[in-house]
A = this chain, B = another copy of it.
């Protein structure tokens, strides 16, 4: 029995902002399962800022997407046909073969998941209980070595990683958590819903000045999802011994030329600062510890999480472009079933 799968392919490498013409939607036929294979109907696929980097043909930590091939990325779904005993039909699984509604591959590509906690959809495993949450956890605690009593600044503060990082910071004893986002609505959510002590709209004025006003005693940790003027502002506000986890640089992802770095790099020397970049793929060894701690917090009702859900695989490209433009609050996912 064959099944059809709707899949999104990259057909042009975007220069600047990605546009619908850079992608195409194709229908792929899957034949009978080979021995060892599993077929999965996806429930949700993930769109993430890092995917913009994979659309460029350059050396990076993860190979670029190939033209005229289906893109990949995080997804959760259920086994609908199987040839292996430990992944029976109905099993909820996570995998990296996203950007399609149905996938079929060797069983080794899929990881069985428990059913989601009461009240949550399976998309939670793409968000706070998945790679998004792990990124926030590792970035804050390992890369930036956040300590109780630290003042923490988070950019992209209303995004999936930012909202998770802020809540982890509070649960781990941060003295004060400050966030920046790009709309008044988001800024209100930061303090009203996600536990930030202070927040500002980076479009309202220079980040440098707004951060100084929000953190008059300086910052100890910066969780950087943005780069650019946000990183420069952090370098100006850092106390001695400050630490930055560089996680993303969405301000630069769609730039068409190399953008200059901060003009105050000398502060790194005089204040003894540490800037450390990371990609989560090198830190999966911390997934066990993360899963235990985050599941506990979640079960205790200590984690607020939000999603922006776009429905239909045909709208996945719009979802990705919207993510680039900051149209999401919390985790952006596409419901494919």
Contact = CB atoms under 8 A, between A and B. Distances in A.
Interface stretch (A21-29, A40-48, A179-187, A276-284): A276-284
A262 interface: yes
A: interface residue count bin: 20 to 34
A262 B232 CA distance: 12
Interface stretch (A165-173, A196-204, A265-273, A328-336): A265-273
A277 B244 CA distance: 12
A117 to B, nearest CB: 31
A127 to B, nearest CB: 21
A275 interface: yes
Interface stretch (A7-15, A74-82, A246-254, A315-323): A246-254
A53 interface: yes
A276 B274 contact: yes
Interface in A104-162: none
Contacts of A263: 258-261
A310 B219 CA distance: 44
Nearest to A265: B261
A97 interface: no
B272 A275 contact: no
Contacts of A282: 272
A261 B275 CA distance: 14
Given A240-B61, A258-B263, A261-B261, A247 B274 contact: no
Contact of A249 (B61, B246, B258, B269): B269
Nearest to A247: B269
Nearest to A59: B270
B277 A270 contact: yes
B269 A246 contact: yes
A256 interface: no
Given A61-B240, A240-B61, A260-B260, A272 B265 contact: no
Given A258-B264, A262-B261, A263-B258, A270 B61 contact: yes
Given A261-B260, A261-B261, A261-B262, A271 B61 contact: yes
Given A53-B270, A258-B264, A259-B263, 12 more contacts: A227-B265, A260-B262, A261-B261, A261-B264, A268-B275, A270-B277, A270-B279, A272-B282, A273-B276, A274-B274, A274-B276, A275-B276
Please list the 4 inter-chain residue pairs (A to B) with the smallest Cβ-Cβ separation, ordered nearest first. Answer: A261-B261, A260-B260, A268-B277, A258-B263
